[in-house]
Amino acid sequence: MGTDRPSSCLPLVSEFAHDPDMAEIVVEFLDSLPERIETMESAWRDGATRELSTLVHQLKGAGGGYGYPSITEAAGALEARLKGTEGSGPDSDIRDRLSHVVTLCRRAIAGRRPT
Amino acid sequence: MRTEAVHPVEGEQRVLVIDDSKDVHRLLQARLRNEELTLLSAYSGPESLEVATQQRPDVILLDLDMPGMDGFEVMRRLKENAATIHIPIIILSGQQSRQDKVTAFDLGAVDYITKPFDLVELRVRVRSAVRTSMLVQMLAQRAQIDGLTGLYNRAHFDARWSEEVAGCTRHNRPLSLALLDADRFKSINDTYGHPAGDAVLRGIARVLRRECRESDIACRFGGEEFALIMPDTALSSAEVVCERIRATLETLSWPLHPERFVTISIGLAGADGATAASAEAWLEMADRSLYGAKNAGRNRVLVTTVPSRGPRLAQAG
């Protein structure tokens, strides 16, 4: 696996960017992403698989809801992989999947509409 | 207990969202903003059981995939608890396996929404569950309503009266009870027929509804007798309410017998705080007052003070 990393680095825009009910909380979600990325990466570095799994699970549940189905999909794939490795050491496949999730999050941040 | 949007609006249906993800709560708040619903929140299985038991929401949206106690376990426990067994549960989950759905419905879920939610689907499914919940509540309430007068029936009175007496004793709050009986009702039935008698009973019920306060509980006690529970009401205020009812009724004219007025006798028993009287003993005191009002010539209010708990009661006894 790990070959499904998108070649595109274009900014990601929320499907709900123009939805007046959603615009405000989409921005809040984007604001929360840098810290989520940092926490996931540090959990990964520390080998805290259980913590990483929880963070990824939350991202999976959130992404699509805020209009980023690709984040949900990528986080779901990472979570499935993590579930099988709980308690064991680092694994390059997990790292690839994590960096795919992080890339999508950064693309979402980059796609934030100017306010 | 952690709840968001705890600004319950009277009459609004309350939906409890159970999900470990704050994002889901935030998304649902945004998605259901215009639905005239009050959203309650719980972030874990154990917390959700506490909130559901205390708040008795009309509908529950439940995530299956939670750390610790998962959604299936939460549902099992909700269905084992008499306080929560009838609350409709909609499953909210990213899991899409057929087995999960089958298990959820077997455990008593009424519906299943897959995350991420489709806005329109989410709204109509919640609306549908809320509507069903309202109909079930309405049926339950109907079982407590007297068919002729639309007031609460005797079964409701018995349950409420015991609760109110217990509350008065526990919290040292005033409480009053009035028993009201139409004067010479049998002769109205005998002279003008049962439709006229029924019209009188409905007329008395209308006066009761109009003249008593929002917090009072008016019941048809049986036959031509009515009961009025007045929570948080001292005897002096209760007497004013009863006098108003009596005075209003004696001035009414009745289309089926314009020549005959209808009056009512009222026995009132009340306490300004905690009392040692049981619900039954209190009811007997009100009944004796009513009997006294009849014997004293009818069309009047007779008042009895229910003895307070404590030294004065010991002296009196």
* Residue pLDDT tens, chain A, 115 long: 444 545 567 899 999 888 888 888 999 999 999 999 999 999 999 989 889 998 998 898 889 889 999 999 999 889 988 887 545 555 788 899 999 999 999 999 998 866 5
Name the percent of chain B lying above pLDDT 90: 61
Confidence check: pLDDT of B52 > 70: yes
The CA distance from B53 to the nearest CA of chain A, in Å, is 27
Residue B105 and residue B191 in one domain: no
pLDDT digits (tens, 9 = 90+) for B153-199: 999 999 999 999 999 988 999 999 999 999 999 999 999 999 999 99
Question: Chain-wide mean pLDDT for chain B?
Answer: 88
Can you spell out the DSSP letters for B190-203? HHH-HHHHHHHHHH
Number of domains in chain B: 2
Considering only CB atoms, B94 lies closest to which of A22, A60, A66, namely: A60
Residue at B17 is within a domain: yes
- Residue B2 belongs to some domain of the structure: no
> For B64-68, B115-119, B176-180, B273-277, which range has the lowest pLDDT when averaged over its residues?
B115-119
Provide the 8-state DSSP code for A52. H
Of the candidates B96, B120, B142, which is a domain's last residue?
A: B142
Residue B189 confidence (pLDDT)? 93
Which of B31, B65, B116 has the CB atom closest to A21's CB atom? B31
- The enclosing domain of B267 has a CATH number of 3.30.70.270
Residues B114 and B20 in one domain: yes
Query: Which one of B47, B224, B225, B280 is the catalytic residue?
Result: B224
Same domain, B69 and B199: no
Q: Is B196 part of a structural domain of the chain?
A: yes
Say if CB B249 and CB B283 are below 8 A apart.
no
Smallest CA–CA distance, residue A5 to chain B, in Å, is 22
Any chain B CB within 8 A of the CB of A58?
Answer: yes
A63 touches chain B (CB under 8 A): yes
* Residue after which a domain boundary falls, among B99, B120, B142: B142
B167 and B135 housed in the same domain: no
Q: CA dist B103 to A40, A106, B18, B67, B97, Å? A: 33, 38, 18, 18, 10
| Residue spans of alpha helices (H) in B70-153 | 71-80, 98-106, 119-142
Q: How far apart are alpha carbons B230 and A99 in whole angstroms?
A: 67
Instruction: Say yes or no for a CB contact (<8 Å) between A65 and B67.
Output: no
The CATH number given to whatever domain includes residue B91 is 3.40.50.2300
Q: Decide which of B287 and A65 is more confident.
A: B287
What radius of gyration do chain A's Cα atoms show?
14
Q: Is B224 a catalytic residue?
A: yes
Domain ranges, residue B303: 154-316
- For the stretch B208-220, pLDDT in tens is 999 988 899 999 9
Structural domains of chain A, with CATH: 23-110 (1.20.120)
